[in-house]
Structure formats: structure tokens, C-alpha cells
């Protein structure tokens, strides 16, 4: 799995930080998403998928590897 985030779209809601703190954080000055880990370990994939689907700004894109 590979994560990309769109800082322009992000509205700083922090839902990703709550759901998948291993992969996401927020910039202190404006709350915009910071990607901590673009290729998180298998064990975090479910949480990351949930974060992408809950993100109110549709700012998180995932490309899943075929295997």
C-alpha cells in the first residue's frame, strides 16, 4: 500500500490522526496533514483505509499493491 495526501484539499480535520496515528500527524501551525509513513506496515492497512474513507476532505489517496 502506498499513501499520498493532498495538502491543498486537506481541511485539517485530524480524523486521520485519530484513526491511524502511525501514518498521519498534523502540522502544528495550521493542522494540515503530515504523512509520517507513506508505506505503512501490513498491520496498519485497515486503519489507513478507514482514515481515507472517513477523511472529510477526500485528501487521502491509496494505491494498493496487487499482491
Partner 1 sequence: MTTSPVADDASAEIPAFPQPRAAVCPFDPSPELRGLASWGPLTRVRSWNDSTPWAVTGHAEQRTLLSDPRLSADFSHPGFPSPVPHTGGERPSTDLSFVGMDDPEHARLRRMVSGAFTIKRVEAMRPVVQEMVDDFITRMLAGPKPADLVQALALPLPSLVISELLGVPYEDHEFFQTNSKVLVSAVATPEERAAAHTNLYGYLDQLVGEKLARPGDDLLSGLAQQITAGELTRREAAAMGVLLLLGGHETTANMITMGTLLLLQHPEQLARVREADDPKVIVSAVEELLRYLSVVHLGRRRTALEDIEIAGRTIRAGEGVILLGELANRDPAVFPDPDRLDIGRDARHHQAFGVGTHHCLGQPLARMELQVVYPTLFRRVPTLRMAADVADIPFKYDAVIYGVYELPVTW
Q: Of 43, 40, 67, 52, nearest to 10 (Cα)?
A: 52
| Residue number, 30 or 67, with CB nearest to partner 1 | 30
Residue 43: which residues within 8 A CB-CB, separation 6 or more? none
Residue 35 interacts with partner 1 (CB under 8 A)? no
**What Å distances lie between residue 42 and 27, 36, 46, 57, 58, CA to CA?**
25, 15, 8, 25, 22
| Residue number, 7 or 66, with CB nearest to partner 1 | 7
The residues binding partner 1 (CB under 8 A) are: 8-9, 11-15, 17-18, 26-32, 50, 53-54, 56-58
Q: Which residues of this protein are in contact with ligand SF4, per CB under 6 A? A: 5, 10-16, 24, 26, 33, 55-57, 59-60
Amino acid at each position: 500500500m502506498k499513501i499520498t495526501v493532498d495538502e491543498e484539499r486537506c481541511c485539517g480535520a485530524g480524523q486521520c490522526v485519530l484513526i491511524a496515528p502511525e501514518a498521519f500527524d498534523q502540522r502544528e501551525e495550521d493542522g494540515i496533514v503530515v504523512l509520517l509513513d507513506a508505506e505503512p506496515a501490513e498491520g496498519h492497512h485497515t486503519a489507513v483505509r478507514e482514515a481515507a474513507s472517513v477523511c472529510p476532505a477526500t485528501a487521502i489517496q491509496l494505491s494498493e499493491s496487487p499482491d
